[in-house]
């Protein structure tokens, strides 16, 4: 996993056409250009992007791995939908994996690992909040969590978190109306706990940080659903 990688860079090579198409489609889905439940015909996407169908098919396969689309045999891929179950499942898995990542990262800090990537990720998140760009805020938020996973230095954990980070960026975008200043304070506290080298403190800080987002996320999602159904 490359240092300071974005969530998309965890998936495919930075220079590939598939990567560029993956990025375009992922961001279009995150920002609602392609809405939840919408079909994504392979041939139509290839025509719009001016490419052959093969890299589009590969990009859709990666998006399916991320849980962002559902591929249907001999039919169009479909953008996944967020409902209460999907949100709860994501938080449940995060609660299981991210405190472990924080604990392992703290242990490596105590053993002399460089904490600079965490400070860089925190600075990027702060700059994104200052910019007011919802997509940038969402992606740097996810990247910060990715930097913690990277620092943990566990290959299997990194692999398991790849798809989760991609979905986190999407959900962060949907819920950007959450108090970003409060989230930034939480991130500062979290990074401070990890860089202290105290494994238990880091694990608890991540557990608290992650769980604190569950209820506000569910509330915002419910409000959005009510507005869309009205």
Euclidean distance between CA atoms 94 and 18, whole angstroms: 28
Query: Domain extents for the chain?
Result: 8-79, 84-229
Euclidean distance between CA atoms 204 and 199, whole angstroms: 9
Q: Tell me which fold the domain 84-229 belongs to.
A: 1.20.120
Residues making up the chain, counted from first to last? 230
CA dihedral 99, 165, 191, 109 (to 10 degrees): 70
> Residue-wise over 157-195: b if at least 16 C-beta within 10 A, else e?
bbebbbbbbbbbbbbbbbbbeeebeebbebbeebbebbb
Give SS3 for 70.
Answer: strand
Euclidean distance between CA atoms 74 and 81, whole angstroms: 21
Q: Tell me which fold the domain 8-79 belongs to.
A: Arc Repressor Mutant, subunit A (1.10.10)
Q: pLDDT tens digit string along 151-204?
A: 999 999 999 999 999 999 999 999 887 777 788 899 999 999 999 999 999 999
**Residue 25 and residue 71 in contact, taking contact as beta carbons nearer than 8 Å:** no
At residue 230, the pLDDT reads 65
For the chain, residues with pLDDT lower than 70 are 1-15, 230
| Lookup: tokens for 63 | 């998006």
| Lookup: tokens for 216 | 């506000």
Of 97, 63, 17, nearest to 169 by C-alpha is 63
């Amino acid at each position: 996993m490359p240092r300071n990688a974005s969530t998309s860079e965890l998936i495919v090579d930075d220079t590939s056409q598939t990567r560029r198409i993956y990025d375009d489609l992922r961001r279009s889905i995150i920002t609602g250009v392609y809405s939840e439940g919408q079909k994504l015909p392979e041939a139509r996407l290839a025509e719009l992007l001016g490419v052959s169908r093969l890299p589009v098919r590969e990009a859709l396969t990666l998006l399916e791995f991320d849980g962002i689309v559902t591929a249907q045999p001999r039919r169009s891929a479909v953008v996944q939908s967020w409902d209460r179950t999907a949100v709860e499942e994501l938080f449940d898995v995060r609660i299981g994996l991210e405190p472990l990542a924080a604990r392992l990262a703290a242990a490596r800090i105590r053993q002399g690992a460089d904490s600079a990537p965490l400070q860089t990720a925190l600075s990027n998140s702060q700059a994104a909040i200052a910019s007011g760009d919802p997509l940038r805020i969402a992606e740097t938020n996810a990247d910060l969590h990715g930097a913690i996973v990277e620092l943990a230095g566990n290959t299997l954990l990194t692999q398991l978190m790849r798809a989760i980070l991609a979905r986190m960026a999407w959900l962060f975008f949907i819920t950007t109306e959450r108090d970003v200043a409060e989230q930034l304070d939480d991130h500062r506290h979290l990074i401070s706990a990890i860089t202290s080298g105290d494994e238990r403190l880091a694990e608890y800080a991540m557990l608290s940080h992650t769980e604190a987002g569950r209820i506000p996320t569910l509330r915002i999602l419910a409000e959005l659903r009510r507005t869309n159904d009205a």
